[in-house]
């Protein structure tokens, strides 16, 4: 390949935006530490040097944690508590010290070998959460090695001119230290959409593409890069034609975005007057601002487990109450649906012990974990109840599979109500309770669950995964993950009909609702509300406002008798081409 030829890399877009800039390649070079034999009388000196480097590293981490808490928030800062645990891991430290004594070698190669073997073992695990801890170990090891070498760890804040950062795996501490005026985007070989780094990128609003596999090998320093964070693609040394195309695309997108911003206060209503309330999905409280800016009203899904992730202690009842009240107040009087913990599978906080599971997504996840640990669940239920003095608060259970779980969860809820009453703590006894429908069994027995709840929220991310037996995070089977599969459409249709029969409210909060070309289909199936990611809200509102409800119903009827997913996709895309082609310019 010539050094002037354009090269395309495809990865996972985790933070949207188009950026063109020179590459700054940063490969933490912990691979080249040199090894030297030491004398017996040098052993204690070498061990002391190691302890000093650990102390220095600990001090740096305390400093970074403080900075992150100031610049971002406490939730993000807690990530560095996990790093601190590595420095304070006595097993690791004593293994390295013992190796210095036994092998009579300087500490650097021993630390590297031992720490990285821990990291490699973790990285090899299927459990995405534990695999993510490998990144923490590598990050901290790099830092300790740099301190042993008495070099300052390269600070990304020292980058002097605007660039696109290229790295094997940009670590959470690196991301937190980014000067976003200089680092205009970043791309990495490794990473997933749910990593701490991805969360940080979105929180900082830095376009990012991860999981590119070969970015550090393919990009040369100062290569010009074009990053498209929405599509998850990177062009190395983009051609003149590509640059011209993207410059035009950026201009065009900016104009469209400006026009869509004007919809902020307009109702999400079809041309023939059918109202489809648009609410938002949030994971972090700082996303609340974006909810109003995007034109959604209320929260259809607050993924509360993100309060727990990256923390070395579980948020107590008061902390949780404060977070839920903040969300409720920000949206009042629009509803705020607080989903109880969906921990387990890929989302497990450091602070919780758990047994290794063969199939974590089919294991002790969400409501199952909460019913297994009622002491944990009840703290959250009481916190939500306490926040329910703001009467817009609603409560929702995730990953319900049938009526028994709902009854058991409701019994605990009533027990918590009684506890609060005894203590004279106010709450809303009429709080609306709903369940997610994200497991086919729950969809099929929705009529049995309906009498126990007030609303259903269809979590299509999991509903597709569980009905089609396709791991939602596995690239190798991504082609089988089909939102427009007839099985999925029938399940949605069935649940909506049950809702109508029982007078329940239906929402879709899975990614399908944030996907513009699928919106007419969902509206046509009769879903009452769409809960979408805040940045997508303007696009979704635009589609709703350009649509005739009658056409959407016709599309849904056609989908319900279609043979293939491709056929339905084609009908959906054609409708968008007809009614709102401008949104395609933002997503394609």
Q: Which is nearer to ligand PEP, 303 or 394 (CB)?
A: 303
Residue 382 touches ligand PEP, criterion: CB under 6 A: no
Residue 303: CB minimum distance to ligand PEP, A = 5
| Alpha-carbon span 239 to 301, nearest angstrom | 42
- Give, as ranges, the residues between 450 and 479 that touch Mg ion (CB under 5 A): 459, 462
| Alpha-carbon span 150 to 89, nearest angstrom | 22
Chosen from Mg ion, ligand PEP, none, partner binding at 303 (C-beta under 5 to 8 Å by type): ligand PEP
| Alpha-carbon span 275 to 390, nearest angstrom | 25
| Alpha-carbon span 541 to 160, nearest angstrom | 40
Chosen from ligand PEP, Mg ion, none, partner binding at 460 (C-beta under 5 to 8 Å by type): ligand PEP
Residue 438: CB minimum distance to Mg ion, A = 5
| Exposure letters 470-497 (e unless 16+ CB within 10 A, then b) | bebbeeeeeeebbbbbbebbebbbbbbe
Residue 322: CB minimum distance to ligand PEP, A = 22
Query: Do residues 164 and 36 make contact, with C-beta atoms less than 8 angstroms apart?
Result: no
Q: Which is nearer to Mg ion, 236 or 492 (CB)?
A: 492
Q: Which is nearer to Mg ion, 439 or 552 (CB)?
A: 439
- Give, as ranges, the residues between 317 and 356 that touch ligand PEP (CB under 6 A): 342
| Exposure letters 526-552 (e unless 16+ CB within 10 A, then b) | bbbbbbbbbbbbbbbbbbbbbbebebb
Between 227 and 266, how does the x/- string for binding to ligand PEP read (CB under 6 A)? ----------------------------------------
Chosen from Mg ion, ligand PEP, none, partner binding at 509 (C-beta under 5 to 8 Å by type): ligand PEP
Residue 346 touches Mg ion, criterion: CB under 5 A: no
Token readout for 406 is 């709902």
Residue whose token pair is 């669940």? 377
Active site residue 499: no
Query: Do residues 430 and 394 make contact, with C-beta atoms less than 8 angstroms apart?
Result: no
Q: Which is nearer to ligand PEP, 238 or 534 (CB)?
A: 534
| Alpha-carbon span 12 to 459, nearest angstrom | 22
Strand (E) or helix (H) holding 26? strand 18-26
Return the sign of the alpha-carbon dihedral for residues 97, 101, 103, 109. positive
| Alpha-carbon span 208 to 214, nearest angstrom | 15
| Alpha-carbon span 286 to 302, nearest angstrom | 12
Q: Which is nearer to Mg ion, 242 or 472 (CB)?
A: 472
Strand (E) or helix (H) holding 570? helix 565-579
Residue 383: CB minimum distance to Mg ion, A = 21
List the one residue out of 256, 207, 255 whose CA is nearest residue 233. 207
Residue 301: CB minimum distance to ligand PEP, A = 6
- Give, as ranges, the residues between 549 and 588 that touch Mg ion (CB under 5 A): none
Cis peptide leading into 333, omega within 30 of 0? Answer: yes
Token readout for 458 is 């269809």
Between 424 and 443, how does the x/- string for binding to ligand PEP read (CB under 6 A)? --------------x-----
Chosen from ligand PEP, Mg ion, none, partner binding at 138 (C-beta under 5 to 8 Å by type): none
- Give, as ranges, the residues between 414 and 453 that touch Mg ion (CB under 5 A): 438
Q: Which is nearer to Mg ion, 393 or 509 (CB)?
A: 509
Q: Which is nearer to ligand PEP, 169 or 438 (CB)?
A: 438
Q: Which is nearer to ligand PEP, 274 or 361 (CB)?
A: 361
| Alpha-carbon span 137 to 202, nearest angstrom | 23
Residue 461 touches ligand PEP, criterion: CB under 6 A: yes
- Give, as ranges, the residues between 71 and 130 that touch Mg ion (CB under 5 A): none
Query: Do residues 524 and 554 make contact, with C-beta atoms less than 8 angstroms apart?
Result: yes
Q: Given the rule CB under 6 A, which of 230-238, 386-394, 426-434, 456-464 is the region that contacts ligand PEP?
A: 456-464
Catalytic position from the list 76, 83, 163, 196: 196
Active site residue 509: yes
Instruction: Figure out which of the listed residues 75, 136, 346, 462 binds ligand PEP, where binding follows CB under 6 A.
Output: 462
Residue 474: CB minimum distance to ligand PEP, A = 15
Q: How many other CB atoms are there within 10 angstroms of residue 40's CB atom?
A: 8
Coil/strand/helix, residue 234: strand
Residue 464: CB minimum distance to Mg ion, A = 10
Count of CA atoms in the C-beta half-sphere (13 A) of 388: 24
Chosen from ligand PEP, Mg ion, none, partner binding at 440 (C-beta under 5 to 8 Å by type): none
Q: Which is nearer to ligand PEP, 156 or 198 (CB)?
A: 198
| Alpha-carbon span 490 to 493, nearest angstrom | 5
| Alpha-carbon span 253 to 230, nearest angstrom | 12
Catalytic position from the list 163, 499, 509, 572: 509
Between 289 and 318, how does the x/- string for binding to ligand PEP read (CB under 6 A)? ------------x-x---------------
Chosen from Mg ion, ligand PEP, none, partner binding at 514 (C-beta under 5 to 8 Å by type): none
Strand order in the sheet with 233-236: 7-10, 233-236, 224-228, 18-26, 163-167, 183-188, 208-210, 12-15
Chosen from ligand PEP, Mg ion, none, partner binding at 136 (C-beta under 5 to 8 Å by type): none
- Give, as ranges, the residues between 504 and 563 that touch ligand PEP (CB under 6 A): 509-510
Site residue total, ligand PEP (CB under 6 A): 10
List the one residue out of 77, 28, 21, 17 whose CA is nearest residue 190. 28
The strand pair at 278-282 and 529-532 is best described as parallel
Residue whose token pair is 């695999």? 131
- Catalytic residue positions? 196, 509
**Applying CB under 5 A, which residues contact Mg ion?**
438, 459, 462
Contacts with ligand PEP by CB under 6 A lie at 301, 303, 342, 438, 459-462, 509-510
């Amino acid at each position: 390949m010539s050094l002037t030829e354009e090269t395309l890399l495809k990865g996972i877009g985790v933070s949207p935006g188009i950026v063109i800039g020179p590459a700054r390649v940063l490969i933490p070079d912990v691979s080249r530490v040199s090894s030297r034999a030491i004398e017996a009388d040098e052993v204690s000196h070498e061990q002391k040097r190691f302890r000093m480097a650990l102390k220095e590293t600990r001090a740096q981490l305390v400093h970074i944690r403080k900075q992150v808490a100031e610049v971002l928030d406490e939730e993000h800062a807690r990530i560095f508590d996990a790093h601190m645990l590595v420095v304070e891991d006595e097993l690791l430290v004593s293994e390295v010290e013992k190796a210095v004594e036994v092998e009579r070698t300087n500490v650097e190669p021993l630390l590297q070998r031992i720490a990285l073997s821990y990291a490699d073992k973790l990285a090899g695990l299927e459990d995405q959460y534990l695999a993510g801890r490998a990144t923490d170990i590598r990050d901290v090891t790099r830092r300790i090695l740099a301190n042993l070498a008495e070099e300052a760890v390269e600070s990304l804040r020292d980058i002097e001119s605007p660039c696109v950062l290229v790295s094997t795996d940009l670590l959470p501490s690196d991301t937190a230290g980014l000067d976003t005026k200089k680092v205009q985007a970043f791309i990495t070989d490794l990473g997933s959409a749910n990593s701490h780094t991805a969360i940080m990128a979105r929180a900082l609003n830095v376009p990012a593409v991860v999981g590119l596999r070969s970015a550090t090998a393919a990009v040369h320093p100062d290569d010009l890069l074009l990053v498209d964070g929405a599509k998850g693609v990177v062009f190395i040394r983009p051609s003149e034609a590509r640059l011209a195309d993207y410059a035009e695309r950026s201009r065009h997108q900016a104009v469209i975005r400006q026009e869509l911003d004007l919809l902020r206060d307009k109702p999400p209503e079809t041309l023939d007057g059918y109202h489809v309330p648009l609410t938002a999905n949030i994971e972090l409280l700082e996303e609340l601002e974006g909810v109003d800016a995007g034109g959604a009203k209320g929260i259809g899904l607050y993924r509360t487990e993100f309060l727990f992730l990256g923390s070395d202690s579980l948020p107590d009842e008061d902390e949780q109450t404060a977070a839920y009240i903040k969300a409720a107040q920000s949206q009042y009087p629009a509803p705020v649906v607080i989903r109880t913990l969906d921990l387990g599978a890929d989302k497990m906080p450091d602070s919780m012990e758990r047994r290794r599971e063969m199939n974590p997504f089919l294991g002790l996840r969400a409501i199952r974990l909460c019913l297994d640990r009622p002491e944990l669940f009840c703290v959250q239920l009481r916190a939500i109840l306490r926040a329910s003095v703001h009467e817009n608060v609603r409560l929702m259970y995730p990953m319900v599979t049938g009526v028994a779980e709902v009854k058991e969860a409701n019994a605990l809820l009533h027990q918590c109500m009684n506890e609060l009453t005894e203590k004279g703590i106010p709450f809303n006894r009429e709080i609306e309770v709903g369940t997610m429908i994200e497991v086919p069994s729950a969809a099929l027995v929705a009529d049995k669950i309906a009498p126990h709840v007030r609303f259903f929220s269809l979590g299509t991310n999991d509903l597709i995964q569980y009905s089609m037996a396709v791991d939602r995070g596995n690239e190798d089977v991504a082609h089988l993950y089909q939102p427009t599969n007839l099985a999925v459409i029938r399940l949605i249709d069935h649940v909506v009909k049950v809702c109508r029969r029982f007078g329940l409210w239906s929402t879709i909060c899975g990614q399908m609702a944030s996907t513009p070309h699928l919106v007419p289909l969902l509206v046509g199936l009769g879903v009452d509300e769409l809960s979408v990611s805040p940045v997508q809200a303007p696009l979704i509102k635009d589609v709703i406002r350009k649509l005739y409800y009658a056409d959407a119903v016709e599309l849904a009827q056609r989908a319900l008798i279609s043979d293939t997913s491709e056929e339905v996709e084609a009908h959906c895309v054609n409708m968008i081409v007809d009614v709102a082609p401008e949104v395609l310019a933002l997503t394609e």
